[in-house]
Amino acid sequence: MLSIHNASKHFGTHAVLKNINLQMNTNSIIGLAGPSGGGKSTLLRSIQQLEVLDSGDITCPEKTGFMFQDFQLFPHMTVLSNLSYAPTVGNKAIDPMLHQKRSLDLLEILGIKEKADYFPHQLSGGQKQRVALARCLMMQPKLLLCDEPTSGLDISSIRDVIGLLNNIHAMGVSMIIASHDLNFLTELADRILLLKDGLILADIEPKKLINPIKNLQSYY
């Protein structure tokens, strides 16, 4: 569903992605681990075409959705408007009202329908996370790119995120999840890549290892 061939990217003289190659199977969850500055966000942003590669190519025939680390909700819009507005961007012919039902259905699935008329500043971090996830799903992506989805969340909210992402995966959505939280990634991912200094140093299947976290930590 995703094919990356010799992807390279510099910022100035700093090589941030160095000849990255990756083949991703449909219906899988890939975790992107590795130290801060390793290139995780840049790789996700390149897949979403938010960054332009210097060389190499990324082929993804499916629709992708991106969940930003800081959520990037529209602060002046209610939860419901944040959702129903998303599919109308660049498509003025569509009436936002038409999306209200789907928005409310998604808020229900994510357990946050009662906050439909709240503004982002009135929500907790975990609640904003759910809204951001719901807003991504409005675009019906087949591949969801999540950048540090647990950052700033407490342990019980992290458990909720694992449950939510598993539910979304069961709906047929593949994912690439960047996170520094190895416990979180090993619970969710079929496969974990360790990205350090722009190189994939490890590519493991956590369920096949006795101690996947120790294995990954050895590369930091």
11 binds ligand ADP (CB under 6 A): yes
Cβ contact 112:130 at 8 Å: yes
Q: Whole-number minimum distance, CB 190 to Mg ion, in Å?
A: 21
Q: Please name the amino acid found at residue 123.
A: L
Q: Whole-number minimum distance, CB 179 to Mg ion, in Å?
A: 9
Cβ-proximal residues to 215 (8 Å cutoff; 6+ apart), any chain: 202, 204, 209
Binding-site partner at residue 42 among ligand ADP, Mg ion, none, CB < 5 to 8 Å by type: ligand ADP
**# of chain residues touching ligand ADP (CB under 6 A):** 10
Q: Whole-number minimum distance, CB 147 to ligand ADP, in Å?
A: 7
Q: Running DSSP on this structure, what letter comes out for residue 61?
A: -
Give residues 37-56 in contact with ligand ADP (rule: CB under 6 A): 37-42
Q: Whole-number minimum distance, CB 112 to ligand ADP, in Å?
A: 27
- What is the C-alpha separation between 59 and 90, in angstroms, rounded? 23
Does an H or E element contain 80, and which? Answer: helix 79-85
Q: What tokens appear for 48 in the block?
A: 């979403």
Cβ contact 121:75 at 8 Å: yes
- Mask: binding to ligand ADP, 17-36, rule CB under 6 A, as x and -? -----------------x-x
Q: At what angle do helices 100-109 and 125-137 cross, to 10 degrees?
A: 130
46 binds Mg ion (CB under 5 A): no
**# of chain residues touching Mg ion (CB under 5 A):** 2
Q: Running DSSP on this structure, what letter comes out for residue 200?
A: E
- Mask: binding to Mg ion, 26-45, rule CB under 5 A, as x and -? --------------xx----
40 vs 128 by CB, closer to ligand ADP:
40
16 vs 112 by CB, closer to ligand ADP:
16
Q: Whole-number minimum distance, CB 39 to ligand ADP, in Å?
A: 5
Binding-site partner at residue 141 among ligand ADP, Mg ion, none, CB < 5 to 8 Å by type: none
CA distances from 11 to 43, 53, 54, 109 (A): 13, 10, 10, 40
Q: DSSP string spanning 83-134? A: HHHGGGTT-TTS-GGGGHHHHHHHHHHTT-GGGTT--GGGS-HHHHHHHHHH
Task: Tell me which residues touch ligand ADP (CB under 6 A).
Answer: 11, 16, 34, 36-42
Task: Tell me which residues touch Mg ion (CB under 5 A).
Answer: 40-41
